[in-house]
Amino acid sequence: MDSPAHPAFVVRASAIHGSGVFAARDIAAGEKIVEYRGEKITKAEAERRGLAREARRDGAGRVYIFELNQRYDLDGDIPDNPAKYINHSCEENCEAVLERGKVWIYSKRDICAGEELTYDYGYALEHFLDHPCRCGSPRCVGYIVHQTARTKLKQLLARSRKRAGRRES
């Protein structure tokens, strides 16, 4: 089911993960698309909520917490935050930018009407097994990790496969 129309995008079913955000019109490179809204919470509260949501028995495990600074995070799991449906991709076309305490989603390149909006979630390498990636990009490493950690993850996975191959021999 589509969301109410927004000038730049619409929320609908995504092949990447559940719901996604799709361009309703052509979007120019560098365009400010939408604010990622939410409740400002402490790091401790963010950790508590994140763990509780990841442990849900229904398998949803959707965590919409965005890092603001060393003290606070933004919990985007509110009704008036369509930006929470923007999925991760290893070939993202958007980026999240922190401006004066607010998180804005900008386009990194020209985006055609109908194209899904995505950005790099930037997860740390240390928890990669908790975050499988389904973006479908040819550059996908299979897990959601920040782009700067993808080469190292590829190396770790190759070593792991090599060890597994030796054990099977």
Domain map (residue ranges) of the chain: 40-76
| Amino acid letter, residue 119 | Y
So what's the pLDDT on residue 50? 82
Q: Kindly provide the residue ranges of all beta strands, DSSP E only, lying in 25-71, ordered along the sequence.
A: 32-36, 39-42, 65-67
Residues β-bridged to residue 162: none
Q: How far apart are CA 165 and CA 83, in angstroms?
A: 42
So what's the pLDDT on residue 2? 44
So what's the pLDDT on residue 10? 96
So what's the pLDDT on residue 76? 94
So what's the pLDDT on residue 4? 46
Which ranges constitute the DSSP H helices of 14-169? 43-54, 150-168
So what's the pLDDT on residue 12? 96
Which ranges constitute the DSSP H helices of the chain? 43-54, 150-168
Contact 34, 76 (CB under 8 A): no
So what's the pLDDT on residue 56? 54
76 C-beta neighbours (distance < 10 Å), count: 21
Residues β-bridged to residue 15: none
Block means of pLDDT (10 residues each) for the chain, 169 residues, are 65 94 97 96 92 62 82 94 95 95 96 97 84 90 89 86 71
